[in-house]
């Protein structure tokens, strides 16, 4: 099956007892057994649940892997993957990963004896130089948030496979989604998602997922998923499954609208920088073109007049909602310096105070541009 067919059918079949076309929400914690220890594949819903199993199989197919595991949130998924790393082992991570990821690594997991190095993973020489004999995991995010930096997944997987430590390569694929890029096919070992974003796609559910093709990794991760228990409920799995059905159509329109917004921003004198992976001025344009199907729906830009201007624009849109998060059908606007990235202020991850981040939604592009024009006109006042 091709991707557009998989999003609708992979992991799902009409319910054998009723013929229901949509995967039922199996709102049950336990399952009646046919005899002692004789069950039909389901014993207890922390371990497995049919609605979750459908979501896990669907996501695995989309990421071209054999195995999927769903979690209560993106952070729960990331936390589970990091439990593949033992005390005394080293993790090499990108230096502008999602803030929650950085917090988990730096503030929580260091306390358990894991070692972390954060480098610019868009620079392969930095990746090579930071690998150690005890490196167990390379953690990549591409494109990153909010600067949309793009790392070369295939090149880094190649570096990992040649290094004597043979570290695993994990990619947080939340921003790109499997429609734009499939890290497992590019040589990564593990893919992670916050399904809260584009996969769910409607800002109505929090969830996460881990996808792998290696049976040994799946076995270890399934053990950890059941041991830690940070699983999503069946209703949440249903919502993500439903969202995924329109992923390819949504991602096409997100990218079209994002390009229209980029073109508008390019023409504005107040804007000193527009950041979009498929914009030829982007520093990693070549890698993005090679690795991604389109540029996605996230656009960032810098206002010359700094934080006050960024706040003014963000507070004067009407269609773009001033909110954190991303990836839903509705457009969102935020000021990372004062909102999502406030905790990075004095760190190397600090962002420009005049930076504005847009999650460009599926409204009509002309309405989105008119909305931004209106917000820009508030700057002149």
173 to 212, contacts with ligand PLP by CB under 6 A? 174-175, 194, 196-197, 206, 208
# residues contacting ligand PLP (CB under 6 A):
16
Among candidate residues 172, 213, 236, 279, the one labeled active-site is 172
Shortest Å, Cβ 370 to ligand PLP: 28
Residue whose pair of structure tokens reads 């992923």 in the numeric block: 247
Residue span 26-65 as binding mask against ligand PLP, x where in contact by CB under 6 A, dash where not = ----------------------------------------
Shortest Å, Cβ 357 to ligand PLP: 11
β-bridge partners, 299: 358
Nearer to ligand PLP, 167 or 296 (CB): 296
Binding residue (CB under 6 A) for ligand PLP from 11, 65, 68, 74: 74
Phi and psi at 141, nearest 5°, equal -130, 130
Stretch that binds ligand PLP, among 35-43, 150-158, 167-175, 365-373 (CB under 6 A): 167-175
> Contact between 340 and ligand PLP (CB under 6 A)?
no
Q: Are 303 and 313 in contact (CB under 8 A)?
A: yes
| Closest chain position to ligand PLP (CB) | 74
User: Does residue 31 have an active-site annotation?
Assistant: no
d(CA 133, CA 236): 41
Instruction: In the chain, count H helices and then E strands.
Output: 13, 12
Can you point out the beta strands (E) in the chain? 67-71, 90-94, 115-119, 135-141, 168-172, 190-194, 208-212, 271-275, 298-303, 321-322, 332-334, 355-359
d(CA 285, CA 71): 33
Percentage helix, strand, coil, to 5, in the chain? 40, 15, 45
User: Does residue 245 have an active-site annotation?
Assistant: no
Number of neighbours of residue 284 by Cβ within 10 angstroms: 18
92 to 131, contacts with ligand PLP by CB under 6 A? 98, 100-101
Which residues contact ligand PLP by CB under 6 A? 73-75, 98, 100-101, 141, 145, 172, 174-175, 194, 196-197, 206, 208
Active site residues: 46, 98, 172, 197
């Amino acid at each position: 099956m091709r991707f557009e067919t998989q999003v609708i059918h992979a992991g799902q079949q009409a319910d054998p007892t009723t013929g229901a076309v949509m995967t039922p929400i199996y709102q049950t914690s336990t399952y009646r057994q046919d005899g002692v220890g004789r069950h039909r594949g389901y014993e207890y819903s922390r371990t497995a649940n049919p609605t979750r199993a459908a979501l896990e199989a669907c996501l695995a197919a989309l990421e071209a892997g054999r195995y999927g595991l769903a979690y209560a949130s993106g952070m729960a998924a990331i936390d589970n993957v990091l439990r593949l790393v033992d005390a005394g082992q080293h993790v090499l991570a990108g230096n502008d990963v999602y803030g929650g990821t950085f917090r988990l690594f730096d503030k929580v997991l260091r306390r358990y004896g894991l070692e972390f190095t954060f480098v610019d993973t868009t620079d392969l020489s930095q990746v090579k130089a930071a690998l150690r004999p005890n490196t167990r995991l390379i953690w990549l995010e591409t494109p990153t948030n909010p600067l949309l930096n793009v790392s070369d997944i295939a090149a880094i997987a190649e570096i990992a496979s040649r290094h004597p430590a043979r570290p695993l390569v994990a990619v947080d694929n939340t921003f790109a989604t499997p429609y734009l890029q499939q890290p497992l096919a590019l040589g990564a070992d593990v893919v992670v998602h916050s399904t809260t974003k584009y996969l769910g796609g409607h800002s109505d559910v929090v969830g996460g997922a881990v996808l792998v093709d290696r049976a040994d990794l799946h076995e270890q991760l399934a053990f950890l998923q059941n041991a830690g228990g940070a699983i999503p409920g069946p209703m949440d799995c249903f919502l993500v499954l439903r969202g995924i059905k329109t992923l390819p159509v949504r991602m096409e329109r997100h990218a079209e609208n994002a390009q229209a917004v980029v073109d508008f921003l390019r023409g504005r004198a107040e804007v000193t920088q527009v950041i979009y992976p498929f914009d030829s001025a982007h520093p990693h344009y070549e890698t993005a073109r090679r690795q991604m199907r389109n540029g996605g729906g996230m656009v960032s830009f810098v206002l010359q007049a700094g934080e006050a201007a960024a706040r003014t624009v963000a507070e004067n849109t009407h269609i773009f909602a001033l909110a954190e998060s991303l990836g839903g059908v509705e457009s969102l606007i935020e000021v990372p310096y004062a909102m999502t990235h406030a905790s990075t202020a004095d760190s190397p991850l600090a962002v420009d105070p005049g930076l504005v981040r847009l999650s460009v939604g599926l409204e009509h592009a002309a309405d989105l541009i008119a909305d931004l024009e209106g917000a820009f006109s508030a700057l002149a006042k």
